[in-house]
A = this chain, B = another copy of it.
């Protein structure tokens, strides 16, 4: 980066480190990794907007991955939508991927529906409802394989962007942050404009009360916290990040779910924190119902930045509605947008991204009918 941070990116925390991070990735093409999982937590009514109906949430991660690889979904018709008909933020990510030609890989932490596409298998299982207090089976096995995959991807990648797709993930994020002793109540975001904080807290507390793991153990060992009340995306993403960030910069692409992943990364291998940043959307940074900055600050001095995506002038109501606080982030939408801006050295800006997103939206919506 030659001069100042472009207008299309907002630095929200750790300005100096953030500018340094942007300098390292400026003009570079990253490798994008989408980590996926399912948790039965997503099916608790009222918690998540990731699926038009609870059973449909099982298909969302697989469909998002297919969107990234093929520009269309294979396992479902159309694209994943919220109950209100808002399309997946994966449309943003696929647009950034299309503009940059970055390589894409999917990593399966534990899904119930597999993508019709190649993906890294780590032999994780789908996650249970966190109210059981036994949410994820053997997260350490998944984490360790993910570390190996991250190390090997890092040998050829200039930097890694790690996104996620897992419906219900902000509730598991809250629970895992609480389990590790962070002040997270009321701070995770939501796909809904009205964030159902009290319900999320109730669900998280129920799991924490039920689990066989001792409070001390979950504070000390992130894998215990995940096993108790986490989701299967978490050990996959954390392992990849740790494996890669030992040698190359890694951008955690997401909102408060990625703050939970960051807390796991810190618990497993704090030395790599110096090599990571968190990239999200303007909608998350501006969200009054959550507090990403507070969460990250509690974990460590990690840069937080956002892509200034602005859909207020979109021709399409389905996109314009993002400005009302629906959806906000997911599938690494914000981080991949930052990567596209950085690769083009600022020539791609928020308006250029919107044009590409509208183009894809148009095609996908026409295709659907």
Residues of B within 8 A of A102 (CB): 155
5 further A-B pairs in the complex, CB-CB below 8 A; given A29-B155, A117-B148, A118-B122 = A69-B148, A114-B121, A116-B123, A118-B120, A119-B120
Give 13 CB contacts A-B under 8 Å.
A29-B155, A31-B155, A31-B156, A69-B148, A101-B155, A102-B155, A103-B152, A103-B156, A117-B148, A118-B121, A118-B148, A118-B149, A118-B152
Q: From the candidates B69, B105, B141, B156, name the one contacting A157 in the complex (CB within 8 A).
A: B156
Interface residues of A in 210-266 (CB under 8 A from B): none
**CA A29 to CA B152, docked complex, whole Å:** 13
A residues touching B (Cβ–Cβ < 8 Å)? 29, 31, 69, 101-105, 108, 114, 116-123, 141, 145-146, 148-149, 152-153, 155-157
How far is the CB of A212 from the nearest CB of chain B, in Å?
25
How far is the CB of A66 from the nearest CB of chain B, in Å?
10
How many copies the complex holds: the figure is 2
List the 7 closest pairs (A to B, CB-CB), nearest first.
A121-B121, A118-B149, A103-B155, A156-B156, A103-B152, A118-B145, A118-B120
Q: Is B121 within 8 A of A119, CB to CB? A: yes
How far is the CB of A332 from the nearest CB of chain B, in Å?
15
Considering the complex, give the chain B residue whose CB is closest to the CB of A102.
Answer: B155
Q: Is B108 within 8 A of A121, CB to CB? A: yes
Q: From the candidates B31, B104, B145, name the one contacting A117 in the complex (CB within 8 A).
A: B145
How far is the CB of A59 from the nearest CB of chain B, in Å?
16
**CA A108 to CA B141, docked complex, whole Å:** 18
Residues of B within 8 A of A145 (CB): 116-118
Residues of B within 8 A of A101 (CB): 155
Residues of B within 8 A of A146 (CB): 118
**CA A101 to CA B247, docked complex, whole Å:** 13
**CA A29 to CA B121, docked complex, whole Å:** 25
Residues of B within 8 A of A141 (CB): 116
How far is the CB of A141 from the nearest CB of chain B, in Å?
8
**CA A122 to CA B29, docked complex, whole Å:** 26
- Decide yes or no: A103 and B148 within 8 Å by CB, A119-B120, A120-B119 being known contacts: no
